[in-house]
Structure 1
Amino acid sequence: MIDITKRDSLKLMGLSSCAVGLLPVAGCTQSPARTPDYVAEDEALWQQADDIIAHIALTDFPERDFPVTDFGGRGDGDTDNTQPIADAIAACAAAGGGRVVIPAGTFNTGPIHLKSNVNLHVSEDAILSFYTDPDRYRPYVLTRWEGVELMGFSPLIYAYGQENIAITGTGVLEGNGTNTVWWPWKGRWSRAQWPVDPVVNQVNTRTPLFDMAEAGVPVEERVFETNYLRPPFIQPYNCKRVLIEGVTIRNSPHWLLNPVLSEDVIVRGVQCISHGPNSDGCDPESCNRVLIENCLFDTGDDCIALKSGRNADGRRLATPIQNIVIQDCQMRAGHGGVVIGSEISGGARNIFARRCYMSSPSLDRAIRMKTNSVRGGLIENVAIRDMVIGEVRDVFVINFYYEEGDKGDFLPEVRNLHVSNMVVENARRVFELRGFERAPITGVSLHDVTIKRAESLGVLENVGEMDLVSVSLNGEPLTL
């Protein structure tokens, strides 16, 4: 039996009142079982995902190795290897490319800047351990922080305008974020284990940065001598042909993998393990043709979040996140498994996710879209299939009231979200779908979805259209 709280029932009295059988609403139906037409349409849809993968331009490196130990590097856990690594990268690039090899050992380093045709290879039993002194991450570089451009701290591994670059191997990238370094800059956080400092706090940089972006201040003038914006771990910016494969990434200051305005990106076999604030696993922003596969995400924020810029800055660049395939990944702890937003002002389109397994008592949401009328953004052509979800709080979330809520003039829009062949073992709520009365959520279809146990149907608010085919909840057909 479907159990909905009184508060939720009152919310459902609008366009989505069909969710509790109160009023008939056009577009909210349980369709007949799948037909050959449904099957053909589904296969045609997923052919698009295969085509995206086929069109990703691949990296290719000469078979030349440049061990950092040949340039004075030492893996003794004490030596500063920043300059030896930089020298090895420069020599590799000058020779036409190859591998810069980090052998077994613990190699301390400051920021690493990759160059074209260089593969940074972190060998088995190697730990590339990054210093936590912020001054080491100067001089500032062009970067993007929560969807807004500025001149800020260098990411731990950074590349700007490079082509044919890689980070490979089975070693460890250690960011050394802890409750005493990097993470306390977050300030208030639900899991904060630090006293909140009113001065050493990201709000003192974040708020003026966002104000600058809204005022149209040129990016080169968005410079803060006193800066509390934590850098991301890996950020290829405006790059082409990028491979990140095999490594384990731990304890990032901020987001772990953050390709920005890049094309032909492959993230494969990477383990993202970081439980600090804003420890998103993989956040491609305004990228085109991205494959994320065979990865593990165990994070303090969203596992995978697809983004395209925040507010005026996202609209200034007007570059969507598009042609993305996520497959064969495992999601554990996190705010969301497969997420679109919240910095989504440039839009998102042609997003595919398949054959993933998600489960954790600390996984808040499986499929999540978050935006508002300040950020706006058109999200269209999103397909999810062959998903197994063990334990999760909410299964489907589309929230137009994220953070600022309905306080702007840029209406968010979701078109063509198609979910098929999903099994959910245990959830608290099936839905949190919250559209605006002036901009309802439409175009959601669920085919062959089995939710074995859920405590509540959840919230459906201003949902104008849903198509259900073979959907069951708690052992009974779900009829809206």
Structure 2
Amino acid sequence: MKITLVRAMTRSAVFELINHSCYRAPAPYTVQLNGKTVLSGDTNVFSLFSLQPDTEYTLTVSDGSESAELHFATVPESFFVDAARYGLVADGETDNTAKLQAALSTCPKGGTVYVPAGVYRTQSLFLHSDTTLYLEKGCTLLGGTRREDYPILPGVLRDADEQKECYLGLWEGNPLDCFAGLINIINEANVTITGEGTLDGNAQNGDWYRNPKERRIAWRPRMFFTSHAQNVVLHGVKVCNSYSWTIHPTYTDNVDILDIRIRNSSTSPNTDGIDPESCKNVNIIGDHVHVGDDCIALKSGKVFMGMNCHVPCENVTIRNCCLSRGHGGLVIGSEMSGGVKNVTVTQCLMDHTDRGLRVKTRRGRGKYAVIDGLVFRNVIMDGVLTPFVINMFYFCDPDGRGDYVQSHEPQPVDEMTPTLGSLEMEDVTATDAQYAGCWFSGLPEQPIERVSMHNVTIDFAKDARPGQAAMMCGANASCKLGVWAENVRTVELHNVKIEGYEGERLQLTHVENFEED
């Protein structure tokens, strides 16, 4: 048995068992801290809370047959700020926004704002550099239900000379006025949110889900939003009932999203779990995501943001996560005009999502819309309707069903043409698939460069029902379709087993190079 420290904070820490299993540990285990049993667990990632700052600890993990020991130390803390001293009222009704904001705004550098157990009604809160927000077990920050009480983040800010623009509010890849999130980190650095408490948007009790694609005053808020920040950590908490996308860091470097639980109703509209947008160096480790849309979606804006900023989402690690019930496990796009590069997904469990790996783009995303360097390794999919979908004809946006996007005749390659590079899938097992095993659709004028699969097994459910594998015009409902590939330069299938398919195992059109063994 081996164990590593993922990250230590002032009063909490997160750890990871080193093995080859997906999300869950090979056997249940117990955790001792300085010789005292403090935790029993069965997942590869676990956390400890209520630690003391600047303190050395000895951790021992045992599963009955073997054990591992680790020494670690927590981070120093300058001040402990008990938010209750600012007059909080924990009745779930009283508006605590100003009091919580006062605690956050007056916390000295290096300090921790501590919120004790209780239910605190609040609207948008803004965190500052070099501080920690610690939510105690039993603490809930409960979102207010009146949209008029939330501040608006302007989509575009102009400088004094009106020569430069700053893009702040973002809605589905465009700079548009949005309500601020429940938790906001903007132009700040070295900020941590941790603890065993809950961030509850309470959106089901407001009007956020009524006509969700309609702008009313401003576009819907996120639960957790960052913009032009650095070194941000979100750890341990439960996040639920989001207004729209749940965790939405944008234009932020060094983001750690560790051992959190996201719970949104399966019927809640556009409540993606974790959506990093134009971020760099992102670690998504040990999270359990159950949502009403995509579980994890990597984005980089629509064409305006892509052409003006061309900041990719890059260097993303996703490991030991459980992704359940959403539209997709890992999704790239469709707002990806700045590009998505260098993404590694390992040891994840995808549980009854509509699709497993889903890449979606379209003509019009622009020349910076390059997806490359995707590695998808050691993943289990259970009950995923279509394990792999790569679709360059995604019919999003008002013009998405028009000829420009949907034509299968070659179009001119110009500054509006997106690119898909190399995608690798290795050591993947998918059981009880239904619509298709793999659906790869590139553009005739810009084929997918390379799809490489090693040691992949896909097994169809005996009672599978038909459905549309890829959201594109002309993709008729299918059932137990093996591999569909069109407009791909190279397809490599090495030890790829597809069981229970119907019809032809491989349906390849305009595939330049095909290898199988």
Aligned to 2:511: none
CA offset digits 1:40-69 (Å, max 9, x no partner): xxxxxxxxxxxxxxxxxxx96625321211
Shift in Å, 1:323: 0.3
Question: Which stretch has the larger CA shift, 437-446 or 449-458?
Answer: 449-458
DSSP-derived class of the 1:185 partner: coil
Question: Which stretch has the larger CA shift, 226-235 or 155-164?
Answer: 226-235
Aligned mates of 2:438, 2:344 — CA distance in 1: 20
Q: Does 1:444 align with 2:470?
A: no
**Pick aligned residue for 1:65 from 80, 87, 105:** 80
TM-score, normalization by structure 1: 0.76
- Aligned pairs for 1:184-203 within 5 A: 184-187=210-213, 202=214
Aligned mates of 2:205, 2:486 — CA distance in 1: 39
- Aligned pairs for 1:65-214 within 5 A: 65-92=80-107, 95-141=108-154, 142-178=168-204, 181-187=207-213, 202=214, 205=215
Unpaired runs of 5+ residues, structure 1, are 1-58, 188-201, 206-225
Decide whether aligned partners of structure 1 residues 180 and 91 sit closer, same or farther in structure 2, where only a CA change above 3 A counts: closer
Aligned mates of 2:438, 2:198 — CA distance in 1: 38
Shift in Å, 1:281: 0.3
Task: Report the identity percentage.
Answer: 34
Question: What amino acid sits opposite 2:482 in the alignment?
Answer: L
Aligned mates of 1:151, 1:451 — CA distance in 2: 44
Aligned to 1:267: 257
DSSP-derived class of the 1:313 partner: helix
Aligned mates of 2:211, 2:279 — CA distance in 1: 28
Aligned to 1:383: 375
Aligned mates of 1:124, 1:382 — CA distance in 2: 37
Shift in Å, 1:442: 2.4
Question: What amino acid sits opposite 2:176 in the alignment?
Answer: L
DSSP-derived class of the 1:230 partner: coil
Aligned to 1:414: 420
Decide whether aligned partners of structure 1 residues 407 and 312 sit closer, same or farther in structure 2, where only a CA change above 3 A counts: farther
Aligned mates of 2:278, 2:343 — CA distance in 1: 13
Aligned mates of 1:140, 1:324 — CA distance in 2: 27
Aligned to 1:430: 437
Shift in Å, 1:311: 1.3
- Between the two structures, name the one with larger relative contact order (CA 8 Å, sep ≥ 6): 1
Question: Which stretch has the larger CA shift, 138-147 or 419-428?
Answer: 138-147
CA offset digits 1:413-450 (Å, max 9, x no partner): 11110110001111111122121211222211000101
DSSP-derived class of the 2:85 partner: helix
Decide whether aligned partners of structure 1 residues 120 and 61 sit closer, same or farther in structure 2, where only a CA change above 3 A counts: farther
Q: Which runs of 4+ in 1 moved over 3 A?
A: 475-480
Contact kept, 8 Å, 2:145 with 2:206, in 1: the verdict is no
Question: What amino acid sits opposite 1:450 in the alignment?
Answer: T
**Pick aligned residue for 1:341 from 333, 339, 363:** 333
Shift in Å, 1:407: 2.4
Aligned mates of 2:307, 2:205 — CA distance in 1: 35
Question: What amino acid sits opposite 1:77 in the alignment?
Answer: G
- Aligned pairs for 1:264-413 within 5 A: 264-275=254-265, 276-360=268-352, 363-376=353-366, 377-402=369-394, 403=396, 404=400, 407=404, 410-413=416-419
Contact kept, 8 Å, 2:328 with 2:356, in 1: the verdict is yes
Q: Aligned residue pairs: how many?
A: 382
Question: What amino acid sits opposite 2:77 in the alignment?
Answer: P
Aligned mates of 1:372, 1:179 — CA distance in 2: 36
Shift in Å, 1:139: 4.6
Aligned mates of 1:105, 1:82 — CA distance in 2: 15
Aligned to 2:499: 474
CA offset digits 1:75-111 (Å, max 9, x no partner): 122221111111111121xx21321111101011111
Name whichever structure is richer in strand by fraction.
Answer: 2
Shift in Å, 1:143: 1.7
Question: What amino acid sits opposite 2:417 in the alignment?
Answer: L
CA offset digits 1:14-34 (Å, max 9, x no partner): xxxxxxxxxxxxxxxxxxxxx
Aligned mates of 1:368, 1:179 — CA distance in 2: 32
Contact kept, 8 Å, 1:309 with 1:315, in 2: the verdict is no
Aligned mates of 1:134, 1:326 — CA distance in 2: 33
Aligned to 1:27: none
Contact kept, 8 Å, 1:61 with 1:118, in 2: the verdict is no
Question: What amino acid sits opposite 1:104 in the alignment?
Answer: A
Q: Does 1:462 align with 2:476?
A: no
Contact kept, 8 Å, 2:225 with 2:249, in 1: the verdict is yes
Aligned mates of 2:241, 2:136 — CA distance in 1: 19
CA offset digits 1:339-397 (Å, max 9, x no partner): 1101000001100000000112xx11000000101114110000010101111111111
Shift in Å, 1:290: 0.3
Question: Which stretch has the larger CA shift, 380-389 or 438-447?
Answer: 438-447
Contact kept, 8 Å, 2:152 with 2:218, in 1: the verdict is no
Shift in Å, 1:451: 1.2
Question: What amino acid sits opposite 2:129 in the alignment?
Answer: S
CA offset digits 1:149-187 (Å, max 9, x no partner): 234321111111100011111111110112752111315
Contact kept, 8 Å, 1:261 with 1:286, in 2: the verdict is yes
DSSP-derived class of the 1:259 partner: strand
RMSD: 2.0
Contact kept, 8 Å, 1:61 with 1:119, in 2: the verdict is no
DSSP-derived class of the 2:101 partner: helix
Contact kept, 8 Å, 2:223 with 2:244, in 1: the verdict is yes
Aligned to 1:15: none
Question: What amino acid sits opposite 2:423 in the alignment?
Answer: L
DSSP-derived class of the 1:79 partner: strand
DSSP-derived class of the 1:442 partner: strand
TM-score, normalization by structure 2: 0.71
Shift in Å, 1:453: 2.5
DSSP-derived class of the 2:84 partner: helix
